[in-house]
DNA sequence: TCTGGGGTCCTAGGACCC
DNA sequence: TCTGGGGTCCTAGGACCC
């Protein structure tokens, strides 16, 4: 049976959302001028999180360093991100989409799929999509693109066609005409490395990729990925719209220093900070972790990461921090300048029974108490900041 | 110009067991 | 003395996404 899937994508999400807020405050609409959302512009390591369409026309791209964009366009308007506001905008957006179909999969803060199979037909899908798009604009003040297709891949590819504020279809019988002429990089899951590998072998368009034999493709990218690319390049994808949010499999946090650091005290302070953040998140979500990993990035962007198992699943900051400290000591020579330090946890369980080992560190109760007061402090800060 | 932060999945190789 | 093959678990590293 022919499915009908919509992929709805907020145009320049963070930038649009900041613009909506500023317009409400009587400020000029930054969507109409070269503008970006970024981190602290005085930090030379800040990068661009979102760019307006006029900024994109000047060649300014997401993930580009702010300093570089300022050289391209000295009059660039720079605004700082407002996460609480973005979250509210996202919720409003998702809620409108859910009214069109409850079979909804949130793909990121600004994108979702909805299964419209029983809600419209191929004949009126475009009209329904336009209604959704106009409703978001009228209710929330920002524009979206809606891609329509018979599966998630095609819907997502379609929403990426001309922007902003557009509805596009990509039905199976339109694949050859609308998708095959595109460069391989435009295909979902084809990133920089895969593009390089493909073009080095004369595969430049999605159409060429679609017609490439599985044998050659497997040699280039491995069997599993080859199979997926082959299916996707031919417009096939049978993955369902997943309404259940998958549980997190890992948590991590990292800090990039404004200057590369060598002082162990500085590194340790950062490790402490990220350990507090990660441990707080797993406690908030009622997880315990059995694996702790620590990673450092050097000046040349090379990354070393090391992980270890904990004796038992834990959510105690001090335990996680101590494992990370040990790992750091194992991989870092104490001299090579460090650009970034990070910490992650994985192998998560919801095990609630705390095994009180006879040999448990007598300090453990003190550590837990410290964590409790840390969590409370964060919770109360959150409450006051909402006032 | 000089590259953030937070995730997921896959692969290859080693250890270990039968 | 020299030796197979399969399965599982773990770690490190790489590629991709937003």
User: Which letter does DSSP use for residue A183 in this model?
Assistant: B
Q: Which whole number is the average pLDDT over A253-273?
A: 96
Q: Which whole number is the average pLDDT over A80-99?
A: 96
Name beta bridge partners: A243: none
Whether A111 sits among the annotated catalytic residues: the reply is yes
pLDDT in tens, A125-175: 999 999 999 999 999 999 999 999 999 999 999 999 999 999 999 999 999
Give the whole-angstrom CA distance, residue A214 versus residue A212. Answer: 6
pLDDT in tens, A40-58: 888 889 999 999 999 999 9
First-to-final CA distance of chain A: 51
Using the predicted structure, report yes or no on whether residue A352 has a pLDDT greater than 70: no
Strand runs labelled E in A5-108: 5-10, 35-38, 48-51, 77-80, 104-108
Tokens of A319: 């335990």
Cis check for the bond before A209: say yes or no (omega within 30 of 0).
no
Instruction: Enumerate the nucleotides of strand C whose atoms come under 7 Å of any protein CB.
Output: 10-18
Tokens of A222: 């491995």
Q: Which whole number is the average pLDDT over A303-310?
A: 95
Q: Which whole number is the average pLDDT over A330-353?
A: 91
Q: How confident is the model at residue A354 (pLDDT cuts 50, 70, 90)?
A: low
pTM for the whole thing?
0.93
Q: Tell me if A116 sits within 8 A of A97, measured CB to CB.
A: no
The pLDDT assigned to A357 comes to 62
pLDDT in tens, A272-305: 999 999 999 999 999 999 999 999 999 999 999 9
H/E stretch holding A114: strand A111-115
| CA-wise closest residue to A292 among A313, A277, A265 | A313
Cβ of residue A68 lies below 7 Å from strand B: yes
Cβ of residue A273 lies below 7 Å from strand B: no
């Amino acid at each position: 049976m022919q499915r009908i899937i919509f992929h709805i994508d907020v145009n320049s999400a963070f930038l649009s959302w900041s613009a909506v807020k500023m317009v409400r405050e009587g400020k000029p609409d930054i969507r109409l001028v070269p503008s970006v959302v970024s981190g602290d512009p005085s930090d030379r390591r800040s990068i661009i999180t979102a760019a307006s369409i006029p900024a994109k026309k000047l060649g300014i791209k997401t993930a580009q360093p702010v300093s570089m964009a300022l050289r391209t366009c000295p009059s660039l308007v720079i605004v700082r991100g407002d996460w609480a506001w973005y979250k509210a905008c996202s919720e409003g957006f998702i809620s409108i989409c859910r009214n069109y179909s409850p079979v909804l999969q949130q793909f990121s803060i600004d994108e979702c799929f909805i299964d419209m199979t029983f809600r419209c037909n191929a004949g009126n899908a475009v009209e329904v999509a336009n209604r959704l798009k106009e409703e978001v604009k009228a209710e929330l003040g920002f524009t979206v693109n809606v891609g329509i297709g018979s599966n998630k891949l095609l819907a997502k590819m379609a929403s990426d066609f001309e922007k902003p504020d557009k509805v596009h279809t990509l039905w199976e019988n339109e694949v050859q005409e609308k998708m095959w002429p595109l460069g391989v990089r435009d295909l979902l899951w084809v990133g920089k490395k895969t593009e390089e590998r493909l073009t080095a072998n004369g595969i430049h368009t999605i159409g060429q990729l679609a017609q490439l034999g599985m044998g050659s493709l497997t040699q280039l990218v491995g069997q599993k990925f080859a199979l997926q690319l082959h299916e996707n390049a031919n417009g096939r994808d049978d993955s369902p719209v997943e309404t259940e949010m998958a549980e997190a499999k890992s948590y991590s946090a990292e800090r990039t220093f404004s200057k590369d650091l060598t002082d162990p005290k500085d590194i340790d302070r950062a490790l402490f900070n990220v350990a507090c953040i990660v441990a707080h998140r797993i406690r908030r979500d009622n997880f315990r972790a059995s694996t702790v990993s620590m990673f450092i990035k050097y000046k040349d962007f090379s990354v070393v990461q090391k992980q270890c198992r904990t004796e038992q699943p834990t959510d105690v900051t001090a335990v996680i921090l101590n494992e990370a400290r040990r790992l750091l000591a194992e991989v870092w020579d104490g001299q090579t300048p460090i650009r970034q330090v990070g910490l992650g946890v994985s192998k998560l369980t919801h095990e609630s029974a705390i095994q009180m080992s006879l040999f448990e560190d007598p300090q453990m109760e003190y550590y837990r108490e410290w964590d409790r007061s840390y969590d409370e402090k964060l919770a109360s800060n959150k409450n006051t900041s909402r006032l």
